[in-house]
Every structure is written in C-alpha cells, then in structure tokens.
Structure 1
C-alpha cells in the first residue's frame, strides 16, 4: 500500500508520512523513493520553489534529514510547456498507443537533454512525434522517461505519455520485476571466456570517489544485481557473447558489473580501457569491426512489462543492430 495520499484541500498536494525506519535519510532521496512519479531532480526543484513543507514549515534544503513522525507535503504546480522543443528526428517505433510508446533506440542518440546535449535527443524527437498526446509528466508537458539507455547503448526503451502511465511504469521499474512481469534483457560482447555458464553479480554501485563521471562498486552504494548467461564463446578471439538480465537498473550497471568480473565490454573505453590491447588478438576483420563499432557492445534486446492502464502483459524483442552483428560475424570467423 502506498504511503502517499492526496490532500482534500489541495488536489495538487501529496503527503508522505515518515516512519521510524525513514529517520535520518536525505529528504530528497526519501521523497523520490516514496513518489516515483517525481524524479529526484524534480523534487529538488520543487523544494527550491517552496513547494515542499512539513508541519507548516517550508523546506528548501534537499539534504535536510527526515524526522520520524513528520508528514512531508509536496504541492506540485500544473504542468508547464515543454522546455525542450520538438525536432523531426527519425524514430523506430515498436509500439504506440494513447498511453505509452516503445522505441528501438539507435546507438548515438542521447535520451534526455543535458549539459553538452541541449537538443537532438530522444525527448526532442518524442515531443515532435507525440505532440498534443503528451499531457504532462513531472511538472512539464513532455514524455515521461521511466528508464534510460546510455547514449551509445542501443535497443528497447518505453516512455510514458501522461502522468498515470508514468506512475504505473515507474512502480514496475522501482519493483525491479520482483512481483510483476517486468523483464529487461541485454546482449553484450565481453572480453575473455567466462569460466562458468551463468552467474549473478550482486554488487552495490555508486559514484566513484576518484572520478565522479564513473560508477564504481561501493559498499555504501545502491543495490545492483545483474544475472548473466554466456551464450557463445569465441575461443580464438578471446571474447564471449553474454545475455544480461537486470534485477535492478543502475547507471552503467552492466558495464561495471561485467568489468568487475574481469570481462569488460568490447569497445567500452571507460570501464575496459585496460583491455584495449586485447584487440591485437583479433583478425584484421575483427579489428576493423571493433573500430567501426566505436561504442560499448551493448544492446537492450528484450523488454517486457504490464501495460500501466490496461494491465495487458507486453513483450518486445529487438534484433542486434548491424554494427554488433558485424562484430559477432568477425569473432566467429577469427
């Protein structure tokens, strides 16, 4: 049962009571965990705007600590016009209805505008494609990004068109498929021959203290679990094709977890730079395919979830894109 409920005197307001186990948490993290329809960044912005309170006190510090027994109220304003502009960017639409859209994202396409990528993103493309069917998510009339793929990761991604769909999908992703039909499966090419046919990496992840742009295994990190299975071994090339199923969905999770096993992804210059010399073992065709790949060899091949409005179980598969298929062909003929 949800601990959040709408206040009768303000239909925009949502109240979240804090229990004994919540005491001491950062307020923004606490609210983000309880209100999956709001991103942590959105909650921080609402706090700065004076839209978060507790017992009549306006709370503007996202790092404030939660007190047990207090009720925190979030009053979000109505959706504002989308800040990103719509752009006519081709989309590979796998499924679409009035509530959501499933995209097969190409490598190289950034999902959301950010520093260095103000436009030309999937969000810009969706605003143009979906138009008036976007009724506002997280305070802005824009598509609801429930999960993300790295810029250079290809494959399936689902996006909500309105708040109700966003909340329903967010709840499934927050539950990690433990009590529902959510499935996220990836194909990855990794260096080395795995010693076992399958296994699980259960290692918490957080920002690296040495390099804040990287993710690292940390004892104080967020829970992260990846189940992997070796699908094919390329003995001569010293590489493997692996299926990775996510039980959680942290930033760079597969890339870091496979590197932790000593099997970083081909083409991953962030977490696999120490293995770049392995490319010398490849045939000329393999080296050319790896150069042409120019990215981490990772593809979101399978996505399944319950439709957030109808409850129908949906399941989608995406074939390997040409660059990965060429890489596999080169490894097979090594």
Structure 2
C-alpha cells in the first residue's frame, strides 16, 4: 500500500493506518518476528514494529504476540501500523487551540471550522498540525518518548468542527491507530440536514471516488466499487424543512456522513460540495430565500460537528469519553430555525 502524493489532504480515516498480512513460507527458518517483518515492510523501523507488538497490533494465527516471538513455517502474520506521514516540513505556528484534555501520551482538542487538519497542497500553513507542533515545542516538559510530530489517527474535514484525539508518543499512536482500525472507538456527530427525516435509519453503501468528480465521494450500492461503509442516523429534532440528526460512525470513510445522507435525499445544510448550499426544501418566496441566505452566513460550510469521542487510554487502559458543545454559528443556526418554525 503505497502513499499517493496526489491524494486529498482530507483523506479517509482508515487510510491513516495500514494492515499488512503475510503467509510464512513452508521453508522459513525460525526467526524473531520483528526481524521477519522489518525485512518485508517498507519505511518501517524495528522500533515501530516493537511498539506495534507491545500494543497488541502484531498478530500470529489470530493471537497477539511479543516482538521476540519466533516465526514458524505456514504462520499467518498480520500487523496494523500508523500510516507514514508525508515528509513535509512542519512549520510551528502560534495558533490558539481549544484543548479539552492533555497528558504525556495524547491531546484531545476541539477543532474549529474552516481549519485544515494537516499541511498539504495549497495548505502548508495555518493547519491544526502547525498549531500542535508549536504547542508541543513549547511545553514546559516533554517526555523522552515524544513521537516527534503530532500523531494523527483520524481527521475531520476543513469545515467540520469538533473533537479530535492526537497522539504524542509512538506507543500511543500505534495503540490508538489499532482502536480506530478495530472500530472499538465511539464517535457521534450532530448534523443539520435538508428535509424531514422520517425515521431513524442505518445507512449501508460502499463509498468511493466519483468517476465524474474525483474531489467528491459517491455511493456504489451494488458493492462493485468503493469501500464498505455504515452510518447510523438518529433523529434529534425536526424543523419541518430541515432536521437535526445524530450520526454514529461504524466505519470511517472520506466524507462518509455527507455522502450517505445526500444519497438518502438529505444533503447536509450548506454543504458546498454535496449540494447543500442551495435551497433544497421550501418555497421560492423572496423572504424565505433571504432567510436561507442569512442561515448560510452563520457557518462557512456543512453543518456537521464531531460531538463526542470515546476510546481506551493507550497507557492506563481507562475508557475516556469526551463531549463538546456545538460551536456558536451552528447553535445560532438552530435557534434561527427554531424561531422560523415557531413564528
């Protein structure tokens, strides 16, 4: 699995870690598994493999093993590793961060709207990673096992707000990557969508790049293309022409919530890429058009907020649960619709 230099910055979460699998040759001599893997994995150090083993990410015949395990002929070997980050110079920038929690292993932040997560083509500065590099460089005390750069295990789109966890150490990065890969984390989002969502639903449909426009994703219901994706949708509040819903991710694909809900006829309100930035429901009266225009002015893009995140702490193994308030623009948007429906 080689990195595609032309890939979008806001890539799918599950591309942030790689899953390798090997069937050991019948004539293989006994050798430590870290030695066996380092000879077969590109751009990987023994430290990374040993860290993966410590965190249960090296599996032989269905069971986690330590790095000193001796590989035997016909063993089934699997390993999950954090995806190698692009070699881009990370420029520290003093950008304010909304820090919810921080310790020597990880940091949990509340990402604002209109902020790209990682530097890439067209966005080399002003990103969340630039801000984190500055923050880490200026901590009064930094542990010796610091990873050297913010360890990303998941991402949020530029205009999506809310909770993200970032690793500080190699072990934390490997451990969290495995949790996201194994889907043992809990992620819930709040979204305002066009239309009256009739009932709670489970949306299942493969997601992949659109053949017409490579910048957006589309659903392939027959399953011939794309990757398996599941979103659980729960209705929170109805406003007639729009609905506030909660989305629980079972998988983490690029633009998953945005694409799945558009497919079901409910594009996210003010989604610039998936048709939510025009009047999808309602009248053509000038007064209504002005109301919608005023609503659009409150948020820079799609009305989507990563409301809560739960995961197991990589060192203490304690279950960590974080929740965040809706950003001001999103809350004002809901208040506006509340008044519109009432009046």
- Confirm or deny a common fold (TM above 0.5): yes
Alpha-carbon distance, 1:6 to partner: 1.1
User: Residue 148 in 1 paired to residue 151 in 2?
Assistant: no
Q: Look up the match of 2:211.
A: 209
C-alpha spacing 1:304/1:278, structure 2 compared with 1 (3 Å): same
Structure 1 residue 260 and structure 2 residue 270: aligned? no
Give yes or no for contact 2:101–2:107 (8 Å, CA) kept in 1. Answer: yes
**Residue 296 of structure 2: SS of its match in structure 1?**
helix
Per the alignment, residue 171 of structure 2 pairs with 164
SS for the counterpart of 1:308 is: coil
Q: Do structure 1's residue 233 and structure 2's residue 235 form an aligned pair?
A: no
| Alpha-carbon distance in structure 1 between the residues aligned to 2:144 and 2:303 | 33
* Structure-to-structure mapping, 1:188-203, within 5 angstroms: 188-196=191-199, 198-203=200-205
Counterpart Cα distance in 1 of 2:196 and 2:144: 46
> Structure 2 matches for 1:80-159, cutoff 5 A?
83-131=89-137, 132-133=142-143, 135=145, 137=147, 141-159=148-166
- Whether 1:175 aligns to 2:182 is yes
Residue 253 of structure 2: aligned partner: 250
Deviations 1:212-238 (A, max 9, x none): 111111222111110000110002xx0
CA contact (8 A) 2:188 2:306 kept: yes
SS in 1 for 2:233: strand
What's the offset of the Cα at 1:205? 0.7
Higher relative contact order at CA 8 Å, sep ≥6: structure 1 or structure 2? 2
Measured in 2, the distance between the counterparts of 1:167 and 1:146 equals 9
Secondary structure of the equivalent of 2:113? coil
Unaligned runs of 5+ in 2: 1-19, 23-32, 39-44, 51-57, 62-76
Contact 2:231–2:247 (CA under 8 A) maintained in structure 1: yes
Q: CA deviation at 1:115?
A: 0.4
Q: Secondary structure at the match of 1:171?
A: helix
Q: Deviations over 1:237-291 (max 9, x none)?
A: x000000000011110000000011000000021125853547664745531222
Aligned to 2:109, what secondary structure does the other structure show? strand
My pick for the range that moved more, 211-220 or 184-193, is 211-220
- For the structure 1 residues 121 and 258, does the alpha-carbon distance in structure 2 shift closer, same or farther, using more than 3 Å as the test? same
The answer on whether the counterparts of 1:190 and 1:241 sit within 8 Å (CA) in structure 2 is yes
Q: TM-score normalized by structure 2?
A: 0.72
C-alpha distance in structure 2 between counterparts of 1:134 and 1:85, whole Å: 21
- Aligned Cα RMSD in Å? 2.9
Structure 1 residues not aligned, in runs of 5+? 20-32, 46-79
Residues 279 and 136 of structure 1: is their aligned pair in 2 closer, same or farther, counting only changes over 3 Å? farther
